[in-house]
Each structure stands twice: as structure tokens, then as C-alpha cells.
Structure 1
């Protein structure tokens, strides 16, 4: 992408790692990006289990809560439900320039790889692929089966970026936040959003990626 995108789609699924998705959302909003957010029901439940946030079920209520929580600008964040088929992300004529699924379950990975489009977030990912826009999937699963790997290979060949939630340690993390920021920084890089969340390679003596 020659220019940083001004609008992005972000989906949070039910994989462990809700902090990755919330931190990514925070960074995107702080960068002035307009975000079209989709949260699956398992994603909403995992967020409640892993963080201090309790996300409302209704998209409008979730939008108000997250707008206030992250001090987003008016209209900067829009939240869409599972079957909101009139959302801009559902059509190539109004699709954002890029999308991240963070964290991404292997079930969502499979749905995107096979083009099932059973929910809005799956349809949005399908639109990214057909329009040749950037799609980043932050997969959080271990170990990986042959099925998972085949789906990753298939999507990579389609042009998607498979970015496993695998933090590095060369930047000498002092806590969980630093580990989260490593994965989020790499995701932002592939979305075309400049950031300085972590030291770059070569900025840390003796570092290895």
C-alpha cells in the first residue's frame, strides 16, 4: 500500500489473545484511522474472560463503550453485528483498504480460506481477497494441524498475510504489555500504519528476530 490507509476493518474472534485485538484497536484509533469493528460472540466472551472489559452484546452499545474507553473521535469507530449485511465492509464498492483479524481462530481461518462468508467478518475478509486489498490474520493456536497449515498456505497464495501471535524477546520485554506490543507492532507494519511501539531490528544490541 503506497499510502497509509485511512479506514480499516478489524475483527476480533474467540481465540485467546483478546489483548492483541484491543491494543491494535487502540493504536489504530490513536493513529487517526477510521475503524470498522466486528466482534464475534465468542470474541466478546473471551474479552470478558481475559481483560477488564465487558463488551455489550448490542453493536451500538459496544460502539459507545469502546469510543469512550479509547477516546475515539466522533464517528471514528463503527461497530457492526454478525449479520449487518449493509455495512460498508460487505461490498467491494465501499470496502476499506485493509483488514486485520486479531486474534484469529482456526475456525475463522478455515471459513476465510474456503470463502464460506457465513458472517459479516467472513464476508469482509472475502471482499479483501477478491479486491486484492491487504488482509492480515493474526492466528493464535498451537500446535497446528495439517488442516490449519493447509488453510494458511492457501490464504498466503491468495495474497493474505498470516501473522501468528508469536512475540519475540530481542527487545527485552519487561512484561505482558511489551509482548503484546511486539505482535501489534508487526501487525501495524503489515497494515501500513507507522508506529514506534517496539525497538526496530538493529536498535537493540545483539538482537535476533
Structure 2
């Protein structure tokens, strides 16, 4: 019998960086062993339109299944929904705070809470700067609960040539944390080897 698909929940909240969620959905579409479940907050839809010019049908088409953030009775709201993990990309400070305090005030934060209580992998691509003490305390709290705070930090040692390269490098780190195969970014194999192999200057 064929093996069950690797279900990944993708949440997109209202922080800047909607491109991370979209690129993650695209990457999961390219991996035949994955099944993506999308949930977007109201502020997330607004950011998708503003930053990427994308409307709801185009984004939902990237996922295997899309869920309304107001539908707290959806499948991903239950611990009986088997999944490999969840990524919130990007994760706003409001969403971070809701997860840190177990508020479950919409389907996105409820799904995240379920992933934590079932001891599954929750990855939060937190987007904000600078950070005040409340932000930092919430990051500590979710980490103590088992989540992984994974801010999308540019890896300039990889010598990116475009914004797309920078986005792909961060999404690649998330896919690694999920155990999903990909070819989004070149892996570091030592400074000497990198200097010999990597191109220099814009391509």
C-alpha cells in the first residue's frame, strides 16, 4: 500500500514577509510526499495583497487544502488530525503572543496549540525588529513549550544574488527542520571548498 502523505500545516499571519509562506507552499507542492494544509489570518490576507498582489484564490490554489481562519471546527483544530508539523510563515508578534498564552482565538492559533499539545513540531518564523521584552519573553515561553522560533535571517555567506535567493535560504532551513527533501539552497561544505566553487559577483 502507498505510504500516507506527510501533512504539513502552513499558517500565514499578518507580519511582513508573506513571501515566506507562499514560497513554502510552492516548495511543498514540488515534493510529492507532502500534503499542505493552509490557514491564513485576516491580517495575513491583507499582507498577501499588499506585498505580493495575491488574492485569496491564487494563494489557496497553492495548498492541497485550505481552511478558513474562522472555522475552529476544521480538521486541523483537532489532535486526531495526524500531521508532521506546522509552520507559521511569517509569524506576527500577535500570533506569537496568542501561541505563548494558549489563546486559540482563531483556527491558526488553535492549530498551533494542538501541534504543541500533541508534541509535534511547531516552527514560528517570527518577524519583528527591534524586539521589546514582551516579545522576547513570548519567544522564551513558546520555546519552553516545545516550539522552534526560526526568524528568517539572511545568510549572506551563501552569496545571494536576489531577494528570491534570500527567501529560498530561509525556507530551506524550515524544510530541513520538517525533514522535507528540497533543493532550494546550496549547503555549506566548508569555507575553502565554497571559495573554490562559488561564483563571484552578480550572475
> Shorter-chain TM-score category?
0.7 to 0.9
Q: Name 2:25's counterpart in structure 1.
A: 25
Say yes or no: does 1:51 pair with 2:52: yes
Which residue of 83, 103, 113 maps to 2:100? Answer: 113
Instruction: Judge conservation of contact 2:84–2:178 (CA < 8 Å) in 1.
Output: no
CA distance in 2 between counterparts of 1:17 and 1:4 reads 31
Instruction: Judge conservation of contact 1:10–1:101 (CA < 8 Å) in 2.
Output: yes
Say yes or no: does 1:98 pair with 2:99: no
Question: What SS does structure 2 have at the residue aligned with 1:170?
Answer: helix
User: CA-to-partner distance for each residue in 1:73-100, whole Å, 9 max, x for gaps?
Assistant: xxx6111112212211101011422000
User: CA-to-partner distance for each residue in 1:109-135, whole Å, 9 max, x for gaps?
Assistant: 000000000001111000011000000
CA distance in 1 between counterparts of 2:167 and 2:84 reads 24
Moved runs in structure 1, 4+ residues, more than 4 A?
none
Q: Name 1:128's counterpart in structure 2.
A: 115
Question: What SS does structure 2 have at the residue aligned with 1:47?
Answer: helix
Instruction: Judge conservation of contact 1:132–1:159 (CA < 8 Å) in 2.
Output: yes
CA distance in 2 between counterparts of 1:188 and 1:12 reads 16
Instruction: Judge conservation of contact 1:7–1:36 (CA < 8 Å) in 2.
Output: yes
Deviates more, 1:170-179 or 1:3-12: 3-12
CA distance in 2 between counterparts of 1:174 and 1:190 reads 24
CA distance in 1 between counterparts of 2:40 and 2:124 reads 14
Q: Greater Rg, structure 1 or structure 2?
A: 2
> What TM-score does the superposition give when structure 2 sets the normalisation length?
0.88
Q: Name 1:39's counterpart in structure 2.
A: 40
Aligned-residue RMSD, C-alpha:
2.0
Pick closer, same or farther for the CA change 1:4–1:15 going to 2, 3 Å.
farther
Which residue of 194, 197, 200 maps to 1:205? Answer: 194
